[in-house]
Amino acid sequence: MSFYAHETAVIDQGCEIGEGTKIWHFSHVMPNCKIGLKCNIGQNVVVSPDVILGNNVKVQNNVSIYSGVSCEDDVFLGPSMVFTNVTNPRSGVNRRGQYSKTTVKKGASIGANATIVCGHDIGEYAFVGAGAVVTKDVPAYALLVGNPARQIGWMSEYGHRLEFDSTGIAICSESKMKYQLMNNKVIKL
């Protein structure tokens, strides 16, 4: 076996799990999931059928990743955050097959106890703060907080707040990478 699964983890048939991935206590990976290389799936995580996780995805404890969700490489999912997959759930109405899609793009981070309402994509290197409730698409590099989530700034790929000068240029305090803000979009230079 090229990945590690704790003896209490349940991995259903038809899953593809990449080399170096670790799946911890009491987690359940349901049928037909694709989990990339060197991922870390914390304790008590549910990965629903057909979910796709890229390489180096970190899923903290008590996270539910429902059908319709895909995460690209280097995504961080904080403790107890949750995705939804139906916008109008009712116990008495079967909506299987009507799941809305959500994509979390490369390098994005979602904080503890945040909720991502289905059908809303999270842009590359976006940063969703703890407890935020995302009800619309999130631009690349955006920093969102609150309920409903609102954008309060921009973040670098290293997770530092970007301060743009009068020419629209910011430099990450850690990596020294440069970014440009133009037409309410951030690009790395």
What are the extents of the domains in the chain?
Answer: 1-87+97-155, 162-189
Task: Identify the three-state secondary structure at position 81.
Answer: coil
Is CATH 1.10.10.10 correct for 1-87+97-155?
A: no
pTM, full prediction: 0.95
pLDDT of residue 89 exceeding 70: yes
Q: Write the pLDDT tens digit of every residue in 140-159.
A: 999 999 999 999 999 999 99
Q: What pLDDT does 62 receive?
A: 98
Average pLDDT over residues 41-68: 97
Which of 84, 89, 94, 55 is CA-nearest to residue 72? 55
Burial of 43: CB neighbours in 10 Å, binned 0-12, 13-18, 19+: middle
Q: Write the pLDDT tens digit of every residue in 153-182.
A: 999 999 999 999 999 999 999 999 999 999
Pull the structure tokens for residue 176.
């020294």
Percent of the chain, pLDDT > 70?
99
Q: What pLDDT does 1 receive?
A: 62
Q: What pLDDT does 88 receive?
A: 87
